[in-house]
Structure 1
Amino acid sequence: MNNTTDSDKSLGAKITIGLVLGSITFVVIFGNVLVLLSPFFSRNLLKKPTYIFLISLAIADLLLGIIVLPFSSIIAVTGTWFFGPVVCNLYVSSDVCFSTSSILHLLVITLDRYYAAASPFHYKTRMKQNCALLIVIIVWFVSVMISFPPIHTGLNTDDGVIQSYEDRSTCVLETNKIYSLVDGIGLFFIPLIFMCVLYVHLILIVRKKGAVSSKNSYKERRLVITIAVVLSGFAVCWVPYFTIFTVGELFKWQAHPVVSDVVLWLGYLNSSINPIIYGLLNQKFRDAFRKMLCITCNKTDASSNYSMSRTSYYTTNNQALSRMKNTTKNKNGCTNKHIYEEAISSSPTKV
């Protein structure tokens, strides 16, 4: 799922592109690491099926950031592939797998929220952790099967030859019409349309419940807003790429390499906005993020306060001892040396 760009960019352009893409990669990795660490700071997160889907989604996005985006950045900057055909096919397969998994997870999350709003009683009795884990396994199975077997057996190419071995300086996803239809229409546009239909139904359900009772109206409105933001981000990020990907193969049309890279990285950007959305709109994730981000600050502040307290103590103690040492004699006739030794013997050794 990558396209090469012209290799004759100026040095300034390469540096700029590298910094931008490196920043996106960092945000993808950092944000999804926060999501994965959230259950350690909010133990209730894994008790609900929805959060199991969100954690699995974060795994897909994190793997994309660690395994795929560094290679994609190198291609975008240099316009050349340096790592051979075997690594290329593994990279392309991973790209397709993790991107597809991310898309399917968003579909599952939308279905989950719709089911919870439309049939709350059946949802609580039927949607258990085992059911959520089974759904996650199915999502990952479909993602793996659409990526690794076809690319490593040549099912994605027109002539049935395994890609990347003829021209070893480029690394792109070669597709035929069948693969484009299955991956583009079957695993993107149909799920996207389905999610939009579910969202419209969800709005109707929330309005109907709000008209009957306003008890949970605020919570349900937040649910609608969250899904709207997630769905909008998903569509804005991925529709341009899959439009070019599907239409280009069906009508034998090829976009400019720069345009292809821009829409591809726009799709990658979706893996960075999901943690931001959850951090802003989900209270449990927001609390967990706050604890994680503040724990280092608290340790630093505690260490600083401890050092300052020790410095303040010893400064005050030394000043007192100095004053006592310089005193000629006390009223009882004790010498300065006696007072000094008595103060030393009675002073604490630890703060």
Structure 2
Amino acid sequence: TDIEETIYTLVEVLIAVCCCLGNAMVVLALWKTKSIQQPTYCFIVSLAVADFLVGAVAIPLSVLVDGRVKTSFHTCLFISCVVILLTLVSVLCLTAIAIDRYLRLSRPFYKRTVTWKYSYSVAAACWFFAVPLSFTPMFGWNEGLKTFNSSDKCMFVNVITLNYLVYFNFFLCTLTPLLVMTVLYAYVFCYIRENLREKPGNGAQNQSRNYLTKEKQLASSLALVLALFALSWLPLHIMNCISLFTNHANKIAFHIGISLSHANSAVNPVVYAFKIKKIKSAYIHIWKRYTYCEAESQGSQS
């Protein structure tokens, strides 16, 4: 109904604004503190950029491909693929972060040899590889012109086939990386827990314990980001599976699932603010600087 469509649109607009503001703050905070040159934080910035684009690009486009505008088949298909792209970038960035945490603990030489250029290259590779994966429907794996009428409005479900969404996008490109990341974080936490159980000894051992404690705090925060991603996206993917295997779909349920998946991009900056000290302190620094400048400008005007 019109009321349901209006509520869905307003919720999406609110989420989009939160995505843009929150993730812009993350990028600004890490840029100002030059933390962007550190491998893990470089990947977090890449993830924040993807989340920002979810608000600025993916959400407006997903609202358009909900039967709001008339387009050609290939235009509608292209817009739908762009919406998929940003999700896959997020998955690949999360995978890169998990691998980075694993290598830092399991390969001592890694943290000594890895450079910011390497981190930028890996982050760029995440975006590069996400493009062919998300634009696969453009090369033929789609619903085809037979299901699309030139008089019809652009609908995501009329151009993107459920086989692609379930078997390729979910099982291969989302679920498999999530399982790999779960295993990697399980190893990280087991390794840290076993080493922290050792009794403190000389200065070198105490220094190692302090390092492991910091690693545990950061890994916990990043694992929470991963868990929230899974909880936000799995409902929509499960609904796609139900729709494919039972041929039953509920539009309201899908709207809730889509909004929940988009909300994940708005939640991440909040997690960073409360769980990662470096980002939290950068937020505070920017806020103090902003309020100081405001107070100074008001004082000069008076």
How does the TM-score come out when normalised to structure 1?
0.75
Identity %: 23
C-alpha displacement of 1:23 = 1.2
The count of aligned residue pairs is: 290
When Rg is computed on C-alpha atoms for both structures, the one with the higher figure is 1
Q: In the superposition, relative to structure 1, how do residues 53 and 164 fare at CA in structure 2: closer, same or farther (>3 Å)? A: farther
C-alpha displacement of 1:165 = 5.2
C-alpha displacement of 1:31 = 1.0
* Contact 1:53 1:136 survives alignment (8 Å): yes
Matched residue, 2:206: none
Q: In the superposition, relative to structure 1, how do residues 54 and 224 fare at CA in structure 2: closer, same or farther (>3 Å)? A: closer
Matched residue, 2:204: none
Higher relative contact order (CA 8 A, sep 6+): 2
- Residue deviations 1:192-224, cap 9 Å, x none? 111111121111111111012443353133124
- Residue deviations 1:222-265, cap 9 Å, x none? 1242133112211110111122224533x252320111111122
Match of 1:171 among 140, 155, 174: 155
Single out whichever of 16-25 and 195-204 deviates more from structure 2.
Answer: 16-25
Does the residue aligned with 1:23 lie in a helix, a strand or coil? helix
C-alpha displacement of 1:146 = 1.6
Match of 1:180 among 158, 162, 166: 166
Q: CA RMSD in A?
A: 2.4
**Aligned pairs for 1:258-269 within 5 A:** 258-269=252-263
Unmatched 5+ residue regions in structure 1? 1-7, 309-351
CA distance in 2, matches of 1:221, 1:125: 19
CA distance in 1, matches of 2:165, 2:220: 35
Match of 2:123 among 129, 136, 158: 136
Match of 1:291 among 266, 285, 289: 285
Match of 1:155 among 135, 141, 158: 141
Q: In the superposition, relative to structure 1, how do residues 252 and 144 fare at CA in structure 2: closer, same or farther (>3 Å)? A: farther
* Contact 2:61 2:83 survives alignment (8 Å): no
**Aligned pairs for 1:296-307 within 5 A:** 296-307=290-301
Matched residue, 1:312: none
Match of 2:223 among 222, 228, 232: 228
Does the residue aligned with 2:2 lie in a helix, a strand or coil? coil
Matched, 1:58 2:38: no
- Residue deviations 1:162-198, cap 9 Å, x none? 8755563142142153563121101111111111111
Matched, 1:218 2:218: no
Unmatched 5+ residue regions in structure 2? 201-208
CA distance in 1, matches of 2:146, 2:275: 45
Match of 2:181 among 183, 187, 195: 195
**Aligned pairs for 1:24-173 within 5 A:** 24-43=15-34, 45-73=35-63, 80-85=67-72, 86-119=74-107, 121-148=108-135, 150-157=136-143, 160-161=144-145, 164=148, 166=150, 168-173=152-157
* Contact 1:57 1:101 survives alignment (8 Å): yes
Q: In the superposition, relative to structure 1, how do residues 111 and 296 fare at CA in structure 2: closer, same or farther (>3 Å)? A: same
Single out whichever of 135-144 and 212-221 deviates more from structure 2.
Answer: 212-221
CA distance in 2, matches of 1:178, 1:30: 32
Amino acid at match of 1:37: L
Matched, 1:282 2:284: no
Provide runs of 4+ in structure 1 moved above 6 Å: none
Amino acid at match of 2:111: K
Matched residue, 2:195: 209
* Contact 2:166 2:237 survives alignment (8 Å): no
CA distance in 1, matches of 2:177, 2:137: 23
CA distance in 2, matches of 1:282, 1:152: 39
CA distance in 2, matches of 1:218, 1:227: 14
* Contact 1:184 1:242 survives alignment (8 Å): yes
* Contact 1:241 1:260 survives alignment (8 Å): yes
* Contact 1:199 1:227 survives alignment (8 Å): no
